[in-house]
């Protein structure tokens, strides 16, 4: 007889779980409401409809309330006796039902998410992603530093903050320009741009050259050699070199910002 009852509980568990997949938010809402108060509450009608057969076999209402009262002391009076084995089995079944129902309700959300399509140019896109990151950090750093501090030098022997950004702009134009056959202007940004606005514009324009270079490169032509400082270097390798150069100077910029009491963009909390 005991074996038959257990088998009935298992079969009922699967049936109830299937019904709970679409209604589990209602059960959770009722359970949270019940746990937050000492007032006796009955489950909502929808929950009653979900329970099949004898509701006492599924103690989501009366048995859960009794358990809550025993734990919280909301109802005065001594316990009438130790918890029976049958009640323990019912409470265990309730835990399993609610856990499985929650899992089954969440799993379809992940299953319905459309997969990310593979990139047509994974190598080029990976290098470009690094370049976009450094571009964003340097442009934000230029905006963050007050104009009065663009002339700041930690020591007299090094470049000022503005000169660092202007030098990076010169390098972007020369390095990225070699990928698309564009020669840099005869005048150096570092030697001519002194004001914050002029340096910001030159830096943004130099990254536009790099964007143009990235747009011309695919995985198919990434290994095509171009002239670079007297050598023949694959196009994608030239762009990767520029990322490293710009990242090196962003490391300098971080130090300058910190010395001025500013938090670098890469260390600021994400919005």
Average pLDDT, the chain: 76
Cα 17 from Cα 93, distance rounded (Å)? 11
- Please determine, for residue 51, whether its predicted confidence score (pLDDT) is greater than 80: no
Per-residue pLDDT of 200-249, as tens digits, reads: 999 999 999 999 999 999 999 999 999 999 999 999 999 999 999 999 99
Q: How many domains does the chain have?
A: 2
Same domain, 39 and 156: no
- Residue after which a domain boundary falls, among 111, 137, 165: 111
| Straight-line distance from the first to the last Cα atom of the chain, in angstroms, rounded to the nearest whole number | 61
What are the backbone angles phi and psi of residue 197, rounded to the nearest 5°? -60, -40
Residue 116 lies in a domain: no
Cα 207 from Cα 269, distance rounded (Å)? 25
Per-residue pLDDT of 68-107, as tens digits, reads: 445 544 444 444 455 555 555 455 555 545 555 554 555 5
Cα 260 from Cα 271, distance rounded (Å)? 23
Q: Which candidate, 122, 131, 149, places its Cα nearest to that of 262? A: 149
SS3 of residue 227 by DSSP:
strand
- Residue after which a domain boundary falls, among 64, 80, 111: 111
Same domain, 131 and 258: yes
pLDDT class for 27, splitting at 50, 70, 90?
very low
Cα 27 from Cα 48, distance rounded (Å)? 10
Same domain, 182 and 217: yes
Q: Which residues pair with 228 in a beta bridge?
A: 231
Same domain, 135 and 249: yes
pLDDT class for 33, splitting at 50, 70, 90?
very low
Rama region for 73: left / alpha / beta (φ>0; ψ in -120 to 50; rest): left
Q: Please say whether the beta carbons of 246 and 134 come within 8 A.
A: yes
Instruction: Record the pTM.
Output: 0.60
Give the Cβ contact number of residue 207 at 10 Å.
23
Same domain, 202 and 76: no
Domain that holds residue 212: 122-267
Cα 170 from Cα 184, distance rounded (Å)? 8
Same domain, 238 and 126: yes
- Residue after which a domain boundary falls, among 111, 134, 158: 111
Structure token digits, residue 136:
């964003």
Same domain, 98 and 129: no
Residues 6+ apart with CB under 8 A from 79: 70
pLDDT at residue 95, rounded to an integer: 55
Structure token digits, residue 229:
């400082």
């Amino acid at each position: 007889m005991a074996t038959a009852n257990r088998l009935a509980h298992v079969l009922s568990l699967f049936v109830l779980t299937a019904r709970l997949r679409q209604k589990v938010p209602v059960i959770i809402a009722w359970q949270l409401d019940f746990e937050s108060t000492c007032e006796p509450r009955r489950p909502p009608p929808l929950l009653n409809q979900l329970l099949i057969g004898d509701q006492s076999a599924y103690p989501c209402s009366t048995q859960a309330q009794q358990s809550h009262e025993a734990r919280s002391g909301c109802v005065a009076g001594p316990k009438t006796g130790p918890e029976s084995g049958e009640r323990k089995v019912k409470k265990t079944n309730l835990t399993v039902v609610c856990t499985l129902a929650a899992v089954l309700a969440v799993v379809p959300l992940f299953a319905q998410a459309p997969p990310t399509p593979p990139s047509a140019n994974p190598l080029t896109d990976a290098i470009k992603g690094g370049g976009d990151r450094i571009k964003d950090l340097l442009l934000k750093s230029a905006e963050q530093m007050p104009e009065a501090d663009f002339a700041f030098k930690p020591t007299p022997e090094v470049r000022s903050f503005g000169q660092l950004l202007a030098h990076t702009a010169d390098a972007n134009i020369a390095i990225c320009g070699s990928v698309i056959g564009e020669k840099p202007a005869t005048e150096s940004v570092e030697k001519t741009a002194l004001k914050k606005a002029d340096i910001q514009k030159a830096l943004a324009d130099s990254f536009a050259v790099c964007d143009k270079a990235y747009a011309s490169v695919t995985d198919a032509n990434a290994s095509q050699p171009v002239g670079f400082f007297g050598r023949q270097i694959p196009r994608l390798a030239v762009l990767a070199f520029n990322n490293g150069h710009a990242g090196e100077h962003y490391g300098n910029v971080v130090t300058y910002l910190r010395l001025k009491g500013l938090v670098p963009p890469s260390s600021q909390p994400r919005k």
